[in-house]
């Protein structure tokens, strides 16, 4: 199998609309940003809101401290080990904190799974939306 | 549910050994590196080899071009939407290309799912290994 000639699939670029549709099916994605020791990638709950990604964290977390303003990316994927196929989307853009005034209604805010106070809302506004689907061979 | 008081789980830090054991159960992870438009995160096949992560790409891909030397991170996770739990590990370190001489035996090399020539092997040697498990509430 190491020659890679078995089970080979086809990679297909996704449109921006397809990327957002696929992302909307997920409740967990991964925020990526530059930390002092290189890229950091942290899974977290999110919601899509008007084409932006809303996340919630603690203002005192590493995430809250480093991400208040700046460049970041949000990634999500779905991978099927059995058919060796899947998709992946990547939203690159800038992050800014949300003030209480700019928060959407309660039922449009992200619900987080871990316990603890996470009242700090951040918004990633994507500038570049890319994605690929790997079709089964 | 937006108050976040339901289904809340406990976050637990993982030891380095636990991180590597969990990573070894996966065949797909995500490489993260700094691109010209911010962090890039790309899922790909990998194998663990002597505590390092081996990946395969094309020397002409964006990944192959940007990753030949430098700081990168490798992330993997497993997320259970039903129990709202899971784990995530992150290996941060440096990437270098592997010469033919330094490649492991055929059966210890990464097998890639997508079609196409991917004869360029890269090794990520982790300097920092961290991970967390989110226990069901």
Q: Which residue has the higher pLDDT, B58 or B13?
A: B13
What are A78-88's pLDDT values in tens digits? 999 899 999 99
ipTM: 0.89
A115–B33: do the CB atoms touch at under 8 Å? no
Residue A109 has pLDDT above 80, yes or no: yes
pTM to 2 decimal places: 0.90
Of A86, A111, A113, the CB nearest to B9: A113
B72–A39: do the CB atoms touch at under 8 Å? yes
Beta carbons within 8 Å of B12's beta carbon, 6+ residues apart: B132, B133, B134, B135
Q: How far apart are the first and last CA of chain B?
A: 14
Q: Which residues does chain B have within 8 Å of residue A43's beta carbon, measured at their own beta carbons?
A: 77, 79, 86, 88
CB within 8 Å of chain B, chain A residues 20-39? 27-28, 30, 32-34, 37-39
User: What is the rounded average pLDDT of the residues B5-31?
Assistant: 88
Q: What angle (nearest 5°) sits at the alpha carbon of residue A97, between those of residues A95 and A102?
A: 115
Of A85, A111, A115, the CB nearest to B9: A115
B58-64, long-range: CB within 8 Å, 24+ apart, which pairs? B58/B116, B58/B117, B58/B118, B58/B119, B58/B120, B59/B119, B59/B120, B62/B35, B63/B31, B64/B120, B64/B122
Beta bridge partners of A132: A13, A88
pLDDT band (50, 70, 90) for residue B1? very low
* Chain A: closest CA distance from residue B25 (Å): 12
User: What is the rounded average pLDDT of the residues B91-98?
Assistant: 94
CA dihedral of A106, A16, B91, B104, whole degrees rounded to 10: 150
Tell me if chain B has a CB within 8 Å of the CB of A120.
no
H or E stretch at A31: strand A28-35
A92–B40: do the CB atoms touch at under 8 Å? yes
Pairing of strands B70-80, A120-135: unpaired
Q: What are the structure tokens assigned to B93, written together?
A: 């370190």
Of A8, A56, A73, the CB nearest to B113: A8
What are A49-108's pLDDT values in tens digits? 999 999 998 877 777 788 777 899 999 999 998 999 999 999 999 999 998 888 899 889
């Amino acid at each position: 199998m190491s020659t890679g000639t078995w089970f080979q699939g086809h990679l297909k670029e996704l449109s921006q609309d397809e990327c957002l549709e696929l992302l909307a099916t997920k409740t967990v994605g991964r925020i990526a940003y530059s930390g002092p020791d290189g890229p950091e990638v942290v899974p977290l709950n999110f919601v899509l809101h008007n084409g932006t990604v809303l996340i919630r964290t603690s203002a005192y977390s590493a995430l809250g401290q480093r991400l208040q303003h700046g460049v970041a990316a949000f990634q999500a994927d779905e991978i099927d080990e059995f058919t060796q196929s899947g998709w992946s989307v990547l939203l690159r853009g800038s992050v800014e904190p949300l003030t209480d005034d700019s928060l959407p209604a309660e039922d449009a805010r992200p619900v987080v799974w871990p316990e603890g106070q996470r009242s700090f809302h951040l918004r990633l506004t994507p500038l570049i939306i890319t994605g690929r689907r790997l079709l089964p061979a």
